[in-house]
Chains A and B, each alone.
Chain A
Amino acid sequence: MSDVEKSLRTRDTLPLSFEKMNGVELVAERPKWNKLNRTFYIGAGLVVLVFLIAWVGPLLLAHDPLEQDLGNGLQSPSREHLLGTDQFGRDLLTRILCGMQVDLQIGIFATAYTMAYGVAIGALAAYYGGLLDSLLMRFLDILIAFPRLVLTIGVIAMLGQGLINMYIAIGIVGWIAYARLVRGEILVAKELEYIEAAKTIGARDGRIIWRHLMPNVLTPAIVFAMSDVILNILYVSALGFLGLGVQPPDPELGTMIADGRKFILNYPNLTTFPGLGVVAIGIAFSVLGDGLADYLRPSG
């Protein structure tokens, strides 16, 4: 690597919140690192805890989430079944924890792949501009005209139910926010001196986008991804609730809430407890997202 490029790389990776340049105070207030990090650490801890509960919990409980025991249906909480049983005699707590596994997996996977191609599309459109960018923006105008949930369930209605079709339906609209975020950031960043300098020394487009632009523009996308995980899990559970998502007998929180609804008059627990599973995941990722946003924000 040439010296010029080395120095450019250093510039690229300068900490975002450097406080003094040429003796001028750039940041009015020194970031309170302990406080900033505290939210992040609490959030990260909560996310780890949610994962532990979802994956280790069922091992400790030693009930099968699918095995029916019709003689033991709709039992109240007891030592054997801490939250009672559902109408088929299955342990409710075990099913909720396994349902959290399912929702977490789908939520995180859906977020990861929509983010990957959303970021790529946004970056390419913004960097090359011109016709590609105009086409992308017009296409986005069209897609955002549809209420997201309506388009998602419309596509699933056509394709048929099932996990793969749910991923396809979520994937059709899920990338839009990432493409817009990254596009906006790159439109600004590509005009900056260090990009011009990288071009001058002959860096190829791929290298400029991947090594120079991406590290500087990904922050908002990563912060958004935390709330997008929650959003996707809410979607997955809503699809399950409408009978269009994960199909019974597999435990999924939304599907379980829909099932429990039939017994809402006498056994409201079957509705309330699975919802708490969604809320627990949501809170953990919100706090982590807030912490990340504080931590990565340029000026504290």
Chain B
Amino acid sequence: MEVILNRYIMRRLVQLIPVLIGVSLIVFFMIRLIPGDPADIMLGERGTEEARAQIRRALGLDKPIYEQYLIFLARLAKGDLGDSFVLRRPAFPMILERFPRTLFLSTYGVVMSAIVALPMAMWSALKKDTLADQIIRGFVTLTLSMPGFWIALLLIIAFSVKLHIFPIAGFGDHFTETLYYLFLPALAIALSGSAVLVRNLRATILDVLQSDYVRTANAKGLKSTTVFVRHVLRNSLISTVTLLGLRVAYSVGGAVITETVFAIPGLGRLLVQSISARDYPVVQAITLFLAVLVIVVNLMTDLVYAFLDPRVQYE
């Protein structure tokens, strides 16, 4: 069994190689989408001829395109994602400085989504087609139609402007303060993200309720709560756990919005700021970093899924 699992992991790792090469190609060509001479656009009016030449050299624009790509790859291998034009320092350490905040916010948001979604999905599935189910499904449809940034702003209006319970922006200095400062941002992520979880978990629970082993468990005369907790919930949660993993990766991408609304100094805000400042190397570096992050999270989620669900075939 362990050998098969190891081989499965190995195969998944090998499959990653072409994906990583493709991602690096897309990110490499991204900066070449800039219309005209990138050096002109990056420097704008502040550029001297010397500075332009320096940028062309830095990007390797004077070399043939395949050589430029190989240089780009060689740098990547050394952890060099290019330098910020604005701050004149390497982009990678800038990303690493900000990333923990974004990860914290995303995890906080996803944990809160689970807290919001679990009871709603269970209630909705157990009371299928009743008024409660209709209300929960209506709520899901409603949140799916709301822009995430608008939900965030509504929370600010209600809890910060009117009720003065939570701060309007900021990150906090230590753990408990951060939990407090990030409550509204996490709630905003939870409200816009829980809809997918509720739909998925509700459908899975309804599926499991129909299965033979649940019928058997009921026929054996087990108490209905025992059947629900031990048989229905445990099996339904497998797919939800993996979905939660994917949500963390997804909400790291969505952090662009949440961090902008709440002025949280994370990776998403850095991305938006870099776009406004035309700091292209940083935009490129963040895009690459987030893509690799999604790949790693996807891989880990698959492995956790394979580990949790013995029915998964490793072939």
* A interface, CB within 8 angstroms of B: 138-139, 141-143, 145-151, 153-155, 157-160, 227, 230, 234, 237-238, 241-244, 254, 257, 261, 264-265, 268, 271-272, 275, 278-279, 281-283, 286-287, 290
* B253 sits at the interface (CB 8 A): yes
Question: Could you list 11 A-B pairs, sorted by A, with CB under 8 Å?
Answer: A146-B23, A147-B290, A150-B256, A150-B287, A150-B290, A157-B283, A158-B30, A158-B283, A227-B144, A282-B145, A286-B145
How many chain B residues have a CB neighbour from A under 8 Å?
48
A141 CA / B287 CA spacing, docked (Å): 16
Query: Contact between B33 and A278 (Cβ–Cβ < 8 Å)?
Result: no
Point out the residue from B144, B157, B295 that lies within 8 Å of A230, measured CB to CB: B144
Interface centre among B252, B276, B290 (most CB of A within 10 A): B290
Q: Which A residues are in CB contact (< 8 Å) with B44?
A: none
Stretch in B116-124, B147-155, B237-245 with 4+ CB within 8 Å of A: B147-155
Q: Which A residues are in CB contact (< 8 Å) with B22?
A: 138-139, 141-142, 145
Query: Contact between A146 and B291 (Cβ–Cβ < 8 Å)?
Result: yes
Closest to A258 in B: B149
Point out the residue from B150, B260, B291, B298 that lies within 8 Å of A278, measured CB to CB: B150
Which secondary structure dominates chain B's binding surface? helix
Q: Which B residues are in CB contact (< 8 Å) with A275?
A: 146-147, 150, 153-154
Q: A230-B145, A243-B276, A254-B147 are in contact. Are A146 and B19 (CB under 8 A)?
A: no
Q: A146-B287, A157-B283 are in contact. Are A237 and B147 (CB under 8 A)?
A: yes
Q: A138-B22, A147-B250, A272-B157 are in contact. Are A282 and B33 (CB under 8 A)?
A: no
Query: Contact between A147 and B253 (Cβ–Cβ < 8 Å)?
Result: yes
A290 CA / B26 CA spacing, docked (Å): 36
Q: Which B residues are in CB contact (< 8 Å) with A271?
A: 150, 153-154, 157
Which secondary structure dominates chain A's binding surface? helix
A268 CA / B154 CA spacing, docked (Å): 9
Q: Contact string, B238-272, partner A, CB cutoff 8 A, digits 1/0?
A: 00000000000110111011001000000000011
* B interface, CB within 8 angstroms of A: 18-19, 22-23, 26, 30-31, 33-35, 141-142, 144-150, 153-154, 156-157, 161, 249-250, 252-254, 256-257, 260, 271-272, 274-276, 280, 283-284, 286-287, 290-292, 294-295, 298
List 6 additional contacts besides A153-B275, A157-B275, A241-B257; criterion CB under 8 Å.
A141-B22, A143-B26, A145-B294, A154-B287, A159-B34, A272-B153
Query: Contact between B147 and A242 (Cβ–Cβ < 8 Å)?
Result: no
Closest to B33 in A: A158
Query: Contact between A264 and B156 (Cβ–Cβ < 8 Å)?
Result: yes
Query: Contact between B147 and A281 (Cβ–Cβ < 8 Å)?
Result: no
A257 CA / B146 CA spacing, docked (Å): 13
Query: Contact between A264 and B157 (Cβ–Cβ < 8 Å)?
Result: yes
Interface centre among B22, B276, B291 (most CB of A within 10 A): B291
Q: Which A residues are in CB contact (< 8 Å) with B256?
A: 149-150, 153, 242
Query: Contact between A146 and B146 (Cβ–Cβ < 8 Å)?
Result: no
Point out the residue from A145, A279, A281 that lies within 8 Å of B295, measured CB to CB: A145
Q: Which B residues are in CB contact (< 8 Å) with A286?
A: 141, 144-145
Q: Which A residues are in CB contact (< 8 Å) with B145?
A: 230, 278-279, 281-283, 286
